[in-house]
A and B are shown apart, each in its own frame.
Chain A
Amino acid sequence: GDSVTQMEGPVTLSEEAFLTINCTYTATGYPSLFWYVQYPGEGLQLLLKATKADDKGSNKGFEATYRKETTSFHLEKGSVQVSDSAVYFCALRVAAGANSKLTFGKGITLSVRP
């Protein structure tokens, strides 16, 4: 079945450090890929998405490129801030349309220290 694998956490970085969070997927079709972020005490917020191979999603300084050949969608940010501390989830959606279910990875906790 469809699945998402995220690197083990947690991750602790100093402010202004470079961030990479790995995500790989297995899917039967051609999925759309997403990164969601969950701040403490809040629900999930869409951070960025990519719907086809070689697409790059970007938002708030975060970027991820849809790599079909390596089935990956790694999240990167050049300079993290304390406010980026949160849990990050990689997810995929196989069928067309926003109404199709999302399959999530386990998530990884990022802590950024001043």
Chain B
Amino acid sequence: DAGVTQSPTHLIKTRGQQVTLRCSPKSGHDTVSWYQQALGQGPQFIFQYYEEEERQRGNFPDRFSGHQFPNYSSELNVNALLLGDSALYLCASSLGSILSTDTQYFGPGTRLTVL
């Protein structure tokens, strides 16, 4: 049973560029959450997708957008990259039912470096 997978593993971009990160959830999961983990910090919630719609959003600017596909995989897009966007981007999957007592399972992350 494959867990949460993310691609690419590492990415280097320059300021002003755009980037797309990808995530495939754990088998059986229908909800994907994205987190940003700056160096030396804990992960911060960006947003969550369920049934192909954004369900929750953290305190991130509109430069951060996402998408969820019918197979539950997800993309995170960041436009007009800033140096401060350099971080590890983590994807987490879970069951979307509010009755679920399961937890979120994390992928290995994508390390984004903005030069």
CB distance A98 to B101 under 8 Å?
Answer: yes
B55 to chain A, nearest CB (A): 7
A97 to B108, CA, bound (A): 23
CB distance A43 to B90 under 8 Å?
Answer: yes
Q: Does A66 contact B (CB under 8 A)?
A: no
A42 to B109, CA, bound (A): 8
A89 to B58, CA, bound (A): 19
Tell me if A's interface is mostly helix, strand, loop or mixed. Answer: loop
Chain B 82-97 interface 0/1 with A at a Cβ cutoff of 8 Å (1 = within): 0000000010101111
Q: How many residues of B contact A (CB 8 A)?
A: 33
A81 to B31, CA, bound (A): 35
Interface residues of A in 1-53 (CB under 8 A from B): 4, 34, 36, 41-46, 49, 51
- 27 CB-based A-B contacts, threshold 8 Å: A4-B42, A41-B108, A42-B108, A43-B108, A44-B90, A46-B105, A51-B101, A89-B43, A96-B98, A97-B99, A97-B101, A98-B95, A98-B100, A98-B102, A99-B31, A99-B55, A100-B56, A101-B33, A101-B48, A101-B58, A102-B33, A102-B45, A102-B104, A105-B42, A106-B41, A106-B42, A107-B42
- Minimum-distance CB pairs A-B, first 7: A104-B42, A98-B94, A44-B106, A97-B98, A101-B45, A43-B106, A43-B108
- Which residues of B approach A to under 8 Å, CB–CB? 4, 31, 33, 35, 40-45, 48, 50, 55-56, 58, 90, 92, 94-109
